[in-house]
Amino acid sequence: MVNFAGLEFIFGFLPIFLVIYYATPKKYRDTILLVGSLFFYAVGEPVYFLLFILLTGINYFLAGKVAGNKRGMLAAVLLDVAVLAVFKGLNFYTESILLPMGISFYLFKMISWQVDVYSGRIKEKKNFQTVMLYFSLFPQVISGPIMRYEEGNFTKRRRYTLWQFEEGLEYFVMGLGMKVLLADRLSILWRDLQMIGFESISTPLAWFGMIGYSLQLYFDFWGYSLMASGIMVMLGFDFIENFHHPYAARSISEFYRKWHMTLGRFFKDYVYIPMGGSRCSKGKVVFNLALVWLLTGIWHGNGLNFVIWGIVLGTLIIAEKLLYGEALAKMPVLGNLYVLFFIPISWVIFAITDLRQLMVYFGRLFPFLGMEGIAVNTQDIVKYSQTYGLLFAVGILLCIPAVFELIKKHRRNPVIALLLAAVFWYSVHFLISNQSNPFMYFSF
């Protein structure tokens, strides 16, 4: 039920909740939204539901009545970080998935709220129900976006119009299509490469697979974020943007200002800037960036590959800052190529947790490194480009900002509306055939 791209959610929880929500007088909609969100979380995470409630309570009471309560803020932030560290640490030592659902996302919201209350950024009087609602909002509780408190329309008036509802629905359907029709299907390509064994894929297929994985990751997460923000808009909130055409960026730092924007913003506002940001000596800047990227790497998963991933990105970003960043900005095509080369490479590091396998994959990507493949089928690219050509074409088109913006601009056009309706039903068709045949993606 907690999966946005699941039939239970699309035809169950979401419509039922929306009807109740809109049937409730405006005055009580926050309450109903809180109840719905808690129910949603409790269904998805019955065990650690209490942890969430407990953390909400502690965070609420540690925050001062007025801005500037440093002790309370520090205690709360330390607690939040400690809880996250404990669970991530446990997860590191045990194979089974111990992480409570959405823990890092709601803890980041809690930290963000603490700091914003302390700094006086949040001016309104704190109210337990609203704070709990902010932490628990069901569209965001599992995987973000990490909305800031003051971005939520808690006291600002929400817009309950058909126009607004339509807006949200459009985003939701776009996201659903990206997830179900692009990401989920592209994920089979990566699974196939693993099944074959990296040592046996041809160099063209290694590149093809890398591009496929880059697209899969993008549409999976962008699609998810669009669905989440779309639901928020349907509920009357503002749209929270989490991705803004990252693959069109011209530097790695720009890429990460446009990829998972709310996370990047979180690290910038609550780690990088408090440490002095870029307004200090060069050495300090390098240190700050290195720390942020090391943390980003560790946060993404346990495994040395994630650390390497963070280090590689951090190094590139530091190099941009110190060496070639400004020059690159003046050379559009070169900048694009630079991003489109290094980012997919970094995703390979992100994807392969086994370091030996990672080396093998690099060996296939760059045969001049001297590692020989084993039982390589040189024709494999023909087969896979036939199977995935269309998905690649659609995916790459949607990476071009002009294409997506054109669709967005004309979204009120009945033709686009019809197209989106088709996307919706096609996605549903996929979900249904997947459900009636759970092995669709696992057929041998």
Candidate list 45, 170, 184, 320; residue touching other proteins; CB under 8 A: 170
Give least dist CB 428 to other proteins, A: 9
* 96 touching other proteins, by CB under 8 A: no
Q: Does position 286 bind other proteins by CB under 8 A?
A: no
For the chain, how are helix, strand and coil distributed in percent, rounded to 5? 75, 0, 25
Q: Which two tokens stand for residue 428?
A: 């549903």
Q: Which of 383, 408, 409, 410 binds other proteins (CB under 8 A)?
A: 383
- State yes or no: residue 385 binds other proteins (CB under 8 A): no
Contacting residue, 69, 130, 336, 377, with other proteins by CB under 8 A:
377
Residue 97 interacting with other proteins (CB under 8 A): no
The answer to whether the peptide bond before residue 145 is cis (omega within 30 degrees of 0) is yes
> Closest approach of Cβ 202 to other proteins, in Å?
11
Task: Give 86's DSSP letter.
Answer: H
Which tokens go with 335?
Answer: 């900048």
Q: Is 165 in the site for other proteins (CB under 8 A)?
A: yes
Q: How near is the Cβ of 186 to other proteins at its closest, in Å?
A: 16
Q: How far is CA 104 from CA 80, 82, 208, 289, 410, in A?
A: 9, 11, 33, 21, 36
Rounded to the nearest whole angstrom, what is the least distance from the CB of residue 231 to other proteins in the complex?
14
In the numeric block, which tokens belong to residue 300? 């993404």
Contact 52, 134 (CB under 8 A): no
Give the residue with the Cβ less far from other proteins, 103 or 173: 173
> Smallest Cα–Cα separation from 132: which of 200, 30, 239?
30
Which segment (125-133, 246-254, 324-332, 411-419) binds other proteins by CB under 8 A? 411-419
**Interaction between residue 372 and other proteins (CB under 8 A):** no
For tokens 């506002």, what's the residue? 269
Q: Is 130 in the site for other proteins (CB under 8 A)?
A: no
CB of 388 to other proteins, least distance (A): 14
Q: Exactly one of 244, 260, 300, 429 is catalytic; which is it?
A: 300
End-to-end Cα, the chain, rounded Å: 28
- Cβ–Cβ < 8 Å for 248, 336: yes
The residues, ordered by sequence, that sit 6+ positions from 134 with a Cβ below 8 Å of its Cβ are 109, 113, 147, 149, 152, 154
> Measured between alpha carbons, how far is 158 from 416 in angstroms, rounded to an integer?
26
Among 147, 173, 235, 398, the residue binding other proteins under the rule CB under 8 A is 173
Contacts with other proteins, 200-239, as mask; x by CB under 8 A: xx--------------------------------------
Does residue 425 touch other proteins according to CB under 8 A? yes
Q: Alpha-carbon distance 8 to 6, whole Å?
A: 5
**Residue from the set 78, 323, 393, 421 that interacts with other proteins by CB under 8 A:** 421
Nearest Cα to 241, choosing from 263, 215, 208, 268? Answer: 263
Q: Which of residues 29-68 bind other proteins (CB under 8 A)?
A: none
**Alpha-carbon span 252 to 243, nearest angstrom:** 14
Q: Is 429 a catalytic residue?
A: no
Q: Which stretch binds other proteins (CB under 8 A): 87-95, 167-175, 249-257, 301-309?
A: 167-175
Please answer whether residues 256 and 313 qualify as being in contact, where contact means their C-beta atoms are separated by less than 8 angstroms: yes
Q: What is the DSSP string of 193-235?
A: HHHH-GGGS-HHHHHHHHHHHHHHHHHHHHHHHHHHHHHHHHT
Q: Which stretch binds other proteins (CB under 8 A): 55-63, 72-80, 135-143, 169-177?
A: 169-177
* Range in contact with other proteins (rule: CB under 8 A) among 64-72, 252-260, 275-283, 419-427: 419-427
Provide the 8-state DSSP code for 412. T
The one-letter amino acid code at 84 reads: L
- We find the least distance from the C-beta atom of residue 10 to other proteins, in angstroms, to be 11
194 binds other proteins (CB under 8 A): yes
Closer CB to other proteins, 377 or 434, in the complex: 377
Q: How far is the CB of 147 from other proteins (least distance, A)?
A: 24
Positions in the binding site for other proteins (CB under 8 A):
161-163, 165-166, 169-170, 173, 191, 194-197, 199-201, 374-377, 380, 383, 412, 414, 417-418, 420-421, 424-425, 439, 443-444
- Which residues carry out catalysis? 300
